[in-house]
Amino acid sequence: MGSPLVLEKRRKQRRALTGLLPGSLLNQQGDKVNARPVDISPEGLGIVTDLILDLGHILFLKTHNQHIELEVSWGKRDFGKNNLYRYGLRVRDGSNLETIFESAGCLK
């Protein structure tokens, strides 16, 4: 039995995560961003955070050997959770996030 998929009308299927990142999520100033990853596809990452991020905002996922640039491609209030927002982050450099998360043991 494979990993569970989150089915939605998207270009790629998304896979559920353990809630852990394979590194740190950073803003453009290099400060750590407090966010919980919720799902992933090869080209993107879904997160929940208390920050308000604009579309096009750039974040970075820094792993032990990579620095991956991510762009906020959509966002909405995360219903049922006070003061939290859900965002879709799109990979800008061609990295395969699914492979990175899988090799780090961060997939369910």
H-type alpha helices, 1-108: 97-103
Tens digits of per-residue pLDDT, 45-86? 999 999 999 999 999 999 988 999 999 999 998 777 788 999
Tens digits of per-residue pLDDT, 1-55? 333 333 344 555 666 666 678 889 999 999 999 999 988 888 899 999 999 999 9
Look at residue 108 and tell me if it is in a domain: no
Look at residue 43 and tell me if it is in a domain: yes
The answer to whether the CB of 44 falls within 8 A of the CB of 56 is no
The answer to whether the CB of 98 falls within 8 A of the CB of 61 is no
Q: What is the pLDDT of residue 8?
A: 41
Look at residue 91 and tell me if it is in a domain: yes
CATH of the domain at 19: 2.40.10.220
Q: In the chain, helix, strand, coil percent, each to 5? A: 5, 45, 50
Q: Looking at the whole model, is its pTM more than 0.75?
A: yes
